[in-house]
């Protein structure tokens, strides 16, 4: 994974007179503008799908911080998504806390839960961590169904929640408001993530991934960084889960099964490991591909996930973002031949 | 007391299934250090084939043997075609490939045989003379079959030249190649055997848990727990671990947590072992040279 960045074009490469950095900024601005205009352009159902993409992007960024940047495995992030979703649902169901306040609470709870799960996980590497989180993913629906927790979780029936309306008399439909609410959270969390990953902390995470012993020699507290990363990653996924619960207006144990965790894994591999933009590409993939494939047969989405997972690892281990980078590099050389040619 | 004994013995019976799965996992782990997450799905798919053959009117034991043959070929083919290119890949890639395999085989079971739960006949009639208050006839048969398979596997590794070659490959692939062992084929053979053992576990457990595409998830977790308890690089430890975990599970189910939290118990065991003694009871502690 250490060679992920080797395909980046040289800093001076220009396309049509603008630097790559400039192009990236333009792309980001265009994406944001489109995202803001979307609720007024598409139908209610399409907006729901778009909103789900936005929510999944947060979860995928969370998993990517852990797996892509820090090199720790999780096949069980569906569990944290479930904790986030259930926290919001239970708070809305049992207490009078306003919906917007439940999101940070869900995030906080997942931060603690992830940190605690990360502590023993520190001793585990590679396969072992994959195994422990695999078990967590499979056990999650069963724990949520457990009879003694029925009074909170509603058991197999789950919990129905009502979606919020637009506040301050804004002229927005409920789903439009919710979309902007989720989008605001996404932007906030991506800005936080960007600040976290580009500086000293980000370099420490990558160093631990690439060579833990060398990282420790450089004065990085591996244990602290790894468990905190687990917590932060769980927090992102938990917030996504909380927003997802508002979006679905319903939580039930069977929507948080093993395959949810697998979706996240597929998402980060397809989008691109150790890449923030990859979270979006991955989210688009895991939201739309099963929707299309479902029309063929019930088994098709899973089969496609499996085949795509293997194909990406085999042919394109850097994901969509890696593919774009290589394309960009080729294009850069083509449009503006560097001094070397 | 009688109830307790009954729980112990039927725990022993399920333990045999877990021991088989644990053994299959360890066989693959020993040679390539890969944890085969698709082991359970391979077993499920083989079991579906057995079901289909029995539906078509084949006698049970003929269908059983054909299933084992198929499972062997399936395992070896998966190794040669899909897993081989990732022999030395980073852990992330390997795990992702196994999860991909799990998904593909799982959806294949669902697409071909539908997701509805099916009953699966036991070859041991429920009124047979060996059934009793302590153990049902199927449980006795299950213990018998798993013990026979384990004994055969042991004999294969201990007394045949092929078994010796496979052990050599697990121990030291480079030197084995130098003395003329076909390392690649030994790995494929190991996968084939793992598939075969898994198929035995699948067909034996299907009458108890009923046949559906996800039936082996729980069994696989307990197989993992057993393998970890015994030490994932020690075949006999893993078998013993499987039996212990089976008994523990039954006792916990009967007296502590109830049957609803079966999978959660496996999670607890796995995390517990990994935290307290990651090398398991009989495993080697791995010391890495810096």
Residue A334: pLDDT band (50, 70, 90) is low
Bridge partners of residue A159, in order along the sequence: A251
Instruction: Name the minimum distance, in Å, from the CA of B218 to any CA of chain A.
Output: 8
Tell me the domain boundaries of chain A.
48-259
* A123 to B278: CB separation less than 8 angstroms, yes or no: yes
Q: What is the ipTM of this complex?
A: 0.83
pLDDT, position B75: 92
* A133-142, A168-177, B30-39, B62-71: least confidently modelled range: A168-177
- What average pLDDT is seen over chain A? 81
Angle at A302 between CA A297 and CA A305, to 5 degrees: 125
DSSP B122: -
SS3 B244: helix
Measured over the CA atoms of residue B177, residue B180, residue B185 and residue B191, the dihedral's sign is negative
A250-251 and A159-160 beta bridge pairing: antiparallel
- Are the beta carbons of A256 and A85 closer than 8 angstroms? yes
Residue A9: pLDDT band (50, 70, 90) is very low
List, in sequence order, the alpha helices (H) in chain A: 20-37, 44-64, 77-94, 99-121, 127-145, 150-153, 174-198, 200-210, 212-217, 222-248, 258-271, 276-293, 300-315, 319-335
Q: Name the interface residues of B facing A (CB cutoff 8 Å).
A: 33-35, 37, 82, 85-86, 89-93, 95-97, 99-104, 106-108, 110-111, 115, 217-218, 221, 224, 228, 260-264, 266-267, 270-271, 274-275, 278, 290
Residue A63: pLDDT band (50, 70, 90) is very high
Q: B2-276 — its CATH code?
A: 1.10.3470
pLDDT, position A235: 93
- Mean pLDDT for the stretch of residues A204-217: 85
* B278 to A299: CB separation less than 8 angstroms, yes or no: no
* A127 to B35: CB separation less than 8 angstroms, yes or no: yes
pLDDT, position A4: 44
* A149-153, A192-196, B204-208, B236-240: least confidently modelled range: A149-153
Measuring CA to CA, how many Å separate A180 from each of A49, A99, A183, B226? 14, 14, 5, 49
* A265 to B96: CB separation less than 8 angstroms, yes or no: yes
Look at residues A130, A28, A46, A63 and name the one whose alpha carbon lies nearest to residue A279.
A63
CB-count exposure of residue B184 (10 Å: 0-12, 13-18, 19+) = middle
Look at residues B231, B203, B209, B220 and name the one whose alpha carbon lies nearest to residue B266.
B220
Helical (H) or strand (E) element with B152: helix B137-159
- Mean pLDDT for the stretch of residues A307-315: 85
Q: Shortest CB distance from B266 goes to which of A123, A135, A145?
A: A135
Chain B residues with CB inside 8 Å of A302's CB? 103-104, 106-107, 110
pLDDT, position A233: 92
Tell me the domain boundaries of chain B.
2-276
Residue A7: pLDDT band (50, 70, 90) is very low
Question: Does A47 or A164 have the greater pLDDT score?
Answer: A47
A14-15 and A18-19 beta bridge pairing: antiparallel
- Whether the pLDDT of residue A116 is over 60: the answer is yes
pLDDT, position A38: 77
Instruction: Name the minimum distance, in Å, from the CA of B199 to any CA of chain A.
Output: 22
CB neighbours (10 Å) of residue B158?
Answer: 10
Interface test with B, best of A139, A147, A267 (most B CBs within 10 A): A139
The residue ranges of chain B whose pLDDT is under 50 are none
């Amino acid at each position: 994974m250490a060679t992920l960045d080797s395909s980046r074009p040289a800093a001076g490469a220009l396309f049509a007179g603008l630097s790559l950095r400039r192009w990236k900024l333009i792309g980001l601005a265009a994406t944001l503008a489109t995202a803001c205009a979307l609720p007024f352009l598409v139908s209610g159902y399409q907006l729901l799908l778009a909103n789900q993409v936005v929510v999944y992007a947060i979860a995928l960024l969370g998993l990517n911080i852990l797996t892509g940047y820090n090199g720790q495995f999780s096949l069980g992030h569906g569990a944290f998504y479930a904790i986030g979703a259930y926290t919001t649902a239970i708070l809305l169901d049992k207490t009078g806390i306003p919906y917007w306040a439940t999101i940070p609470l869900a995030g906080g709870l997942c931060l603690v839960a992830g940190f605690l799960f990360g502590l023993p996980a520190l001793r585990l590497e590679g396969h072992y961590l994959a195994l422990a989180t695999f078990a967590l993913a499979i056990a999650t629906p069963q724990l949520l169904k457990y009879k003694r927790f029925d009074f909170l979780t509603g058991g197999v029936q789950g919990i129905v929640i009502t979606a919020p309306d637009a506040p301050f008399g804004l002229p927005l439909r409920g789903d439009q408001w919710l979309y902007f609410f989720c989008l605001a959270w996404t932007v906030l969390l991506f800005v936080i993530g960007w600040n976290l990953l580009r500086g000293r902390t980000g370099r420490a995470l990558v160093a631990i991934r690439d060579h833990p012993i060398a990282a420790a020699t450089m004065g990085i507290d591996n244990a602290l960084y790894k468990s905190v990363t687990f917590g932060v990653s769980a927090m992102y996924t938990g917030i996504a889960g909380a927003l997802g619960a508002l979006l679905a207006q319903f939580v039930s144990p069977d929507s948080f099964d093993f395959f949810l965790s697998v979706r996240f894994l597929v998402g980060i591999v397809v989008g691109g490991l150790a890449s923030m933009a990859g979270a979006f590409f991955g989210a688009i993939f895991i939201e739309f591909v099963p929707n299309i494939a479902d029309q063929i047969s019930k088994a098709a989405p899973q089969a496609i996930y499996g085949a795509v997972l293997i194909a990406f690892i085999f042919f394109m281990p850097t994901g969509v973002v890696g593919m774009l980078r290589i394309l960009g590099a080729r294009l850069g050389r083509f449009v503006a031949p560097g001094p070397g040619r | 007391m009688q109830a307790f004994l009954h729980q112990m013995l039927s725990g022993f019976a399920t333990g045999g299934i877990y021991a088989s799965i644990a053994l299959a996992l360890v066989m693959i782990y020993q040679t390539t250090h890969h944890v085969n997450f698709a082991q359970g799905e391979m077993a499920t798919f083989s079991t579906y084939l057995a079901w289909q053959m029995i539906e078509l009117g084949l006698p049970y034991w003929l269908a059983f043997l054909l299933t084992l043959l198929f499972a062997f070929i399936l395992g070896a083919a998966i190794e040669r075609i899909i897993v081989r290119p990732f022999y030395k890949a980073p852990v992330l890639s390997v795990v992702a490939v196994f999860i991909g395999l799990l998904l593909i085989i799982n959806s294949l079971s669902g697409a071909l045989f539908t997701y509805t739960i099916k009953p699966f006949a036991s070859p041991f009639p429920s009124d047979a003379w060996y059934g009793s208050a302590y153990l049902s006839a199927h449980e006795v048969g299950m213990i018998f079959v798993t013990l026979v398979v384990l004994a055969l596997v042991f004999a294969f590794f201990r007394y045949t030249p092929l078994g010796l070659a496979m052990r050599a490959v697990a121990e030291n692939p480079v030197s084995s190649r130098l003395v003329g062992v076909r390392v690649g084929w030994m790995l494929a053979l190991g996968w084939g055997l793992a598939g075969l053992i898994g198929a035995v576990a699948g067909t034996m457990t299907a009458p108890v848990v009923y046949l559906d595409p996800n039936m082996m998830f729980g069994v696989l977790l307990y197989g993992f727990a057993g393998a970890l308890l015994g030490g994932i690089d020690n075949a006999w430890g893993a078998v013993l671990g499987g039996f212990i975990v089976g008994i523990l599970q039954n006792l916990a189910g009967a007296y502590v947590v109830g049957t609803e939290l079966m999978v959660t118990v496996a999670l607890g065991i796995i995390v517990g072992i990994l935290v307290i003694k990651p090398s398991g009871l009989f495993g080697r502690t791995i010391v890495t040279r810096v």
